[in-house]
Structure 1
């Protein structure tokens, strides 16, 4: 067995760059040596609470320096981290605590209301981090329990589980995806040393939620693996992000499509914008119209990538080595294979020739160890050593991979396949459209009907009839939406991804 711990990412950065600023959190500037010492101090306190290699610790902390302190503190103690999505309600958090078998919850004092209720319901003890609570009955603070830091982190094996990410639960209850130390160390390393032209001198904006796999691996762990500086933003808005990037001379931005849309809206009328050397998009498909506009306004190249919680998360990305191609997710990262398989065959993997449409399948060092306590779900997800992504796509002769749509989002209208992303790309080019989501809703005659939900651009007058007419001109007769609904906003998940299942529900029950 090979010894490897995700904690070594911060430990090594502390050794190489002890006096360099690791994290900027408002007025606080924390060096690598300071952050690592604090994590080891937390680890000592956790050890005194009985937390070690056979234990699991849930972490409910926002984008503050308390997150990496707690995260690496748990890893240094040798325990497993369960990041808690901060937009969940008490009942949903209690489910995660029970299902993961959490032995302890580390909770930021700002989140005590909902998280403490969840922990009480699940019978899980709580300790807090962050500013002291005014409530005299608040749980003990981890800082107050700390003594001398551990001399070093507890050794783990490469294939031991390091982090359990809970999927969004689009079908049934959320599942805990088991990510190993090897998965996460490799993904952070390959992201910064192979996939991108990242440098230790970079300043990275940490506006993606750190509890989410994208913000955690690509943002935080990748930055620390490189020895760069992470500037945290607790709550994203386009204006706040631009202001902070200008103030801190940020050079790298990782975001999801809704963030790029927000940055474009906030950029209007500004005399000065951040000089971004690297911009990365993931989490959902980025409309080509948004990519082109952002490139023009910010004078930079967006590298769109793709991944899942089950792939640590990065599987592919547009990379400087291979060049970029708008509308694609680039090439597989180093050490990972991504192919196209026959989507309708579930029990085995049948790879398809170049150019054919099928399901995107992945194998390599990034593929997870399975779903916690769900062997049948794991067997359905990993077939013949390949992870079935649930996404439909193609690979061209130059190796560029394109996501066509989610298998489950495919609309079958009157026997014809309609891919929502294709319709969204067309509508996104209308000057009055800021955001759009296309879904299928039940229809007695056709099976499903195509419906577009649109958020209009600020200060632009447009009607549903205008957008219907535009769609009719731009799309085939079986593709254009027969219904368009204007909305003030689209429902978003904790990772700022549009929740199409919620849109379908609202359309079906008439609340949209």
Structure 2
């Protein structure tokens, strides 16, 4: 088991130097030997340009081989990669950069041009795109792509940084070194950033590589580092779809990209769109990892019928500690509740007095930027332990208060989705005029649901859920609102829509 992310990748590069490591969306392939040379060359040139150990690099480079090389090279130079999404607006961007205190910025050339004062920014604003001004920061700049008007004049090209250097030194193992910072929840005034070390990332990625049985004969097709980096540690071949590719919009293109692949990662909504399209996925596929949103029984039943030879793995985790547990489709469908699975090797789980799941392990982040280190993480999820199995019962923040009784939707939604004709089910509390909440059950029907689904479900509920949790209203919607790249159900938007 690798105990250092960077050393794990470089060791794999030595063992598999002539084998393919990364293939981009245009089909261009980098071998393991070339990957190691480019990473070490980047680290050498960063240090020669004044990049010092402990420096942080604000990182807004699209997923691809260049981004992977630059990120690993930054870590090899002793630095920390701070991932920042430019889409949150200037105020949030300012707060986040103030917290991170970067000495360097790496971004796309087009992003610099569209955010800097000038004609490109004016054109972007007329089209409704307002980006934070990267060029106003007192930092050193790296660009990915050609120089464009608005790109800082002294910016360094990623391609120039990555040229191999003869006898570039291999960094020493430093599992305690901060490696990445990922911004997560938190208000604009108080942004929240998770800090992972080389060691915590190595623990997470090695566990995934082992559970997914990745080896040099595997090919992983994804733009998600969560699965791509374990592939590199295992000596597998990581191929990437084109930047911005949306599987749900182009199922046939996804199937073509997966030709020869053994593993991929999908959010549940993308898998549902692929199944709806009728497009056949290649026979080479052995595993599909599902995550970033609830993985419900109706989808698993459909997927298992359409992909009988593929192992479907529901991954549970969060930015602070990933993965926590993995359950197969068969395990989830055989359980009455929302089974998350057994804690993965090294992960420890307990349930607090209020029912909240608390986890810890070697893959736990160091903590939050500017805050004391963490020894365990309170997930915000409610759960129970059945022996060594974790069963999810709800979200603390999703609790509904009705008549002085706490109702946890997660206790009931999995059972409701098992009813005939139900593709998805969400229970929402809608405040009334006196501060209490009425419970609305929102359903999405399967294609073969037939008429009167709401009435049929309502009639089944007394035998299925506790009487105090019975909904005041049952509605059938064409779809549920989703949010973010992970396509999670947006309960706030749903609540607002049902309150009208």
Instruction: Give the aligned partner of residue 229 of structure 2.
Output: 221
Alpha-carbon separation, structure 1, partners of 2:138 and 2:250: 39
| Deviation larger for 105-114 or 157-166 | 105-114
User: Which residue, out of 157, 178, 182, partners 1:165?
Assistant: 182
Q: Does 1:127 align with 2:142?
A: yes
Shift in Å at residue 505 of structure 1? 5.0
Kept in 1: contact 2:41–2:168 (CA 8 A) = no
2:358 aligned with 1:361: yes
Do residues 206 (structure 1) and 222 (structure 2) align? Answer: yes
| 1:277 is the counterpart of 2:268 | no
The partner residue of 2:327 within 318, 335, 354 is 318
Deviation at 1:176, TM superposition (A): 1.0
Is 1:65 the counterpart of 2:82? The answer is no
Indicate how the Cα distance of structure 1 residues 447 and 119 shifts in structure 2: closer, same or farther if over 3 A, else same.
same
Query: Structure 1 121/364 Cα, relative in aligned 2: closer, same or farther at 3 Å?
Result: same
Distance 1:438 1:114 in 2: 41
Corresponding residue SS for 1:178 = strand
Q: Is the 8 A contact 1:255 1:281 kept in 2?
A: yes
Deviations 1:361-420 (A, max 9, x none): 112212222211134xx6xxx5xx4322111111213x2211111111122222333332
Does 2:471 match 1:480?
A: yes
Q: How many aligned residue pairs are there?
A: 470
Which residue does the alignment assign to 1:410? 399
State the Cα distance separating 1:423 from its structure 2 match. Answer: 4.5
Structure 1 CA distance, aligned partners of 2:497 and 2:67?
35
Q: 1:17 to 1:483 in 2, by over 3 A?
A: same
Shift of 1:13: 1.9
1:193-245 deviations in whole A, cap 9, x for unaligned?
2x3333321111214xxxxxxx32x3122111111111212322236455344
TM-score (norm 1): 0.81
- Residue in 2 that maps onto 1:88: 88
Q: Contact 2:8–2:233 at 8 Å: present in 1 too?
A: yes
State the 1:63 CA deviation.
Answer: 2.5
Aligned to 1:47: 47
2:298/2:423 contact within 8 Å kept: no
Q: In the superposition, relative to structure 1, how do residues 69 and 502 fare at CA in structure 2: closer, same or farther (>3 Å)?
A: farther
C-alpha displacement at 1:448, in angstroms? 1.9
Once structures 1 and 2 are overlaid, which stretch shifts more, 97-106 or 469-478?
A: 469-478
Residue 132 of structure 2: SS of its match in structure 1?
helix
Corresponding position: 1:396 with 2:386: yes
Deviation at 1:459, TM superposition (A): 10
2:482 aligns with 491
Q: Give the Cα separation in 2 of the matches to 1:45 and 1:325.
A: 54
Q: Which moved more, 1:156-165 or 1:184-193?
A: 156-165
CA distance in 2, matches of 1:100, 1:13: 31
Q: Separation in 1 of the partners of 2:397 and 2:480?
A: 23
User: TM-score, normalised to structure 2's length?
Assistant: 0.83
Q: Does the alignment pair 1:421 with 2:410?
A: yes
Alignment of 1:164-313 (within 5 A): 164-169=181-186, 173-193=190-210, 195-207=211-223, 215-216=224-225, 218-233=226-241, 234=243, 235-238=245-248, 240=250, 243-247=253-257, 248-266=259-277, 268=278, 270=279, 273-299=282-308, 300-311=310-321, 313=322
**Using a 3 Å threshold, how does the CA distance of structure 1 residues 64 and 471 change in structure 2: closer, same or farther?**
farther
* CA shift for structure 1 position 179: 1.1
Larger displacement relative to structure 2 (138-147 or 59-68):
138-147
CA positional deviation for 1:288: 1.4
Alignment of 1:459-478 (within 5 A): 466-467=453-454, 470-474=457-461, 476=465, 477=467, 478=469
Relative to structure 1, is the Cα distance of residues 118 and 420 closer, same or farther in structure 2, using a 3 angstrom cutoff? Answer: farther
SS in 1 for 2:359: strand
Post-superposition offset of 1:324: 8.7
User: 1:503 offset after TM fit, Å?
Assistant: 3.8
Q: Could you say if the C-alpha distance between residues 118 and 136 of structure 1 is closer, same or farther in structure 2, counting changes exceeding 3 Å? A: closer
Q: Structure 1 pair 236/55, CA: closer, same or farther in 2 (3 Å)?
A: same
Q: Is the 8 A contact 2:43 2:76 kept in 1?
A: yes
Listed one character per residue, the Cα deviations across residues 29-81 of structure 1 (whole Å, up to 9, x for unaligned) are 22111222222232233223322312001211222222212211211111011
**Quick check: 2:18–2:31 contact (8 Å CA) kept in 1?**
yes
How many Å apart are 1:125 and its aligned residue? 4.2
Q: Displacement of 1:466 after TM fit?
A: 4.2
Query: In the superposition, relative to structure 1, how do residues 310 and 262 fare at CA in structure 2: closer, same or farther (>3 Å)?
Result: same
Name the counterpart of 1:155. 172
CA contact (8 A) 1:61 1:108 kept: yes
Distance change >3 Å, CA 205–CA 245, structure 1 → 2: farther
